[in-house]
Amino acid sequence: MAQVNANAETIREFIICLNGIISEIRGASAKVRAVGSGGWNDAQGQQFHTTMQKIAQLIESPIDILKAQQPKLEKLAQSLDAYNKVKF
């Protein structure tokens, strides 16, 4: 008899964890942006601001990938639910 050693609820909990990770990433990016907006008007201040904006964008770059995986993980959880309902 075939058996799946995976739990749909564990996958759903992981989706919740991904949401937490996305929130943390956004928070870190916001802090970096805030550091870069110190109000300096000289050339070095502008360069620092530009650099911090680029860093914030790099920090945020995994968000789209993580969000794209959530529906796939939910579909996997639903497939496991369906599989576990089948009686052999």
Say whether pLDDT at 77 is over 60. yes
Average the pLDDT over 68-78 and give the result. Answer: 97
Say whether pLDDT at 32 is over 90. yes
**Predicted pLDDT of residue 6:** 76
Average the pLDDT over 11-17 and give the result. Answer: 96
d(C-alpha 66, C-alpha 64), whole Å: 5
Q: Where are the domains of the chain?
A: 8-85
Is 61 in a helix, a strand, or coil? coil
Q: Give pTM, 2 decimals.
A: 0.80
Phi and psi at 19, nearest 5°, equal: -60, -40
**Predicted pLDDT of residue 3:** 58
CB neighbour list of residue 79: distance below 8 Å, 6 or more residues apart: none
